[in-house]
Amino acid sequence: MVIGPQGEKIVQKLPGRLSWSEITLGRCLSPDMNLADWRQQVMDGDIENAKADGAIIALDRRNMEMGRWQLVNAWPSQLHSPVSADPSNAFMAESMVLVHEGMTRVY
């Protein structure tokens, strides 16, 4: 507690412990097995070696970068099997939930 200029007590707020929310990412189904292999590494108990720094990059309609977030020690806590986003077509999507130890917007 701090005493103000008129003798009043002032309660100062201090920053608390930082915490980060999980991030859910989605993509169209791909034959690329990198995400499944990464998730399998975690399921096999090798979480420390599965942790990786990386970036999430947002692109506009012209494929120009419009935002970038740097992640620290990210790893996939969930990988959801492909589901049809629209039963009237063949579009299939998969999603992944990332846990991380820090995120910074760099662009």
Q: What is the 3-state secondary structure (H, E, C) of 67-107?
A: EEEEEEEEEEEEEEEEEECCCCCCCEEEEEEEECCCEEECC
Task: Read off the pLDDT of each residue in 96-106 and give the average, rounded to a whole number.
Answer: 96
**pLDDT at residue 16, rounded to an integer:** 85
Q: pTM of this prediction?
A: 0.75
- Give the lowest-confidence range in 52-56, 64-68, 92-96: 92-96
